[in-house]
Amino acid sequence: MARGPTLLLERAFVGGPVCGVDEAGRGPWAGPVSAAAVILPDNPRKVPKGLDDSKKLTAKAREGLEIEIKATALAWGVGFASVEEIHDLNILHATGLAMRRAVAALATPPAYALVDGNYRFDLPCEVRTVVGGDAKSKSIAAASILAKVARDRLMTEMDARYPGYGFARHKGYNAPSHLEALVALGPCEIHRRAWRPVKLVLAGIDPRAVGAAQEELPF
């Protein structure tokens, strides 16, 4: 039995290129949500080795694979949806917007998209959802890596723009140091105002006092 993602799902489609699509950053308290789309070569020998769900890889491994993916992919694209767009659209629809931008950035328009998860986003091609797709499809795994690395890199840049929050370390996710900074400094421009810990601090309430310190999801 093959271990890790394979190209089998991609090969099930005929009639046009197949891209894998995945996102990064739906849960954090701060920063944009990112997405990536990747069309890999049909020949397994031309596909980077070690592709897997980005969460299973170290930062160093992801960064190395990012270089290989961009060098070998037939096409790749990355898209973001801003904190303002997350606030206006909600996180689900902002994720779809980031995915559409990623697919639109592909140099080769895809005929099909394999999207990680079970929600059928509105993309400019046929869509097939794949639950646990980053463990089943190499294209989705590659997309998960590009989306994660792109967002992590952006959050590291935000650390310099908004010092004191530790964005370079936790990338905007729930972390004790992030909570401490949020309470001490108050939310900055890239905090998601609808997320409950952020919303409570804006209302003058310490999230730790009402048991909301571990929450990532918005109201």
Q: From first to last of its 219 residues, what are the pLDDT tens digits of the chain?
A: 457 899 988 988 878 899 999 999 999 999 999 999 999 999 999 999 999 999 999 999 999 999 999 999 999 999 999 999 999 999 999 999 999 999 999 999 999 999 999 999 999 999 999 999 999 999 999 999 999 999 999 999 999 999 999 999 999 999 999 999 999 999 999 999 999 999 999 999 999 988 755 554 443
Q: What is the pLDDT of residue 213?
A: 53
Specify if 24 maps to a domain: yes
Q: Measured between alpha carbons, how far is residue 137 from residues 3, 5, 40, 60, 128 in Å?
A: 11, 5, 11, 22, 12
Q: Are residues 41 and 133 in the same domain?
A: yes
Q: What is the pLDDT of residue 217?
A: 42
pLDDT in tens, 21-79: 999 999 999 999 999 999 999 999 999 999 999 999 999 999 999 999 999 999 999 99
Q: Measured between alpha carbons, how far is residue 45 from residues 72, 86, 127, 154, 205 in Å?
A: 10, 39, 26, 32, 56
Q: Are residues 67 and 90 in the same domain?
A: yes
Domain count, the chain: 2
Q: Are residues 76 and 172 in the same domain?
A: no
Query: Structural domain of residue 155, as residue ranges?
Result: 8-159
Q: Are residues 34 and 97 in the same domain?
A: yes
Specify if 74 maps to a domain: yes
Q: What is the pLDDT of residue 212?
A: 59
From CA 195, how far away is CA 204, in angstroms rounded?
Answer: 14
Q: Are residues 106 and 191 in the same domain?
A: no
Q: What is the pLDDT of residue 15?
A: 83
Q: Are residues 126 and 100 in the same domain?
A: yes
From CA 209, how far away is CA 213, in angstroms rounded?
Answer: 8
Q: Is 43 exposed, middle or buried (0-12, 13-18, 19+ CB in 10 A)?
A: exposed
From CA 133, how far away is CA 7, in angstroms rounded?
Answer: 11
Coil, helix or strand at residue 123: coil
From CA 154, how far away is CA 171, in angstroms rounded?
Answer: 9
Specify if 213 maps to a domain: no
Q: Are residues 168 and 146 in the same domain?
A: no
Rounded (to 5) percent helix, strand, coil in the chain:
45, 15, 40
The pTM of the full predicted model, rounded to 2 decimals, is: 0.93
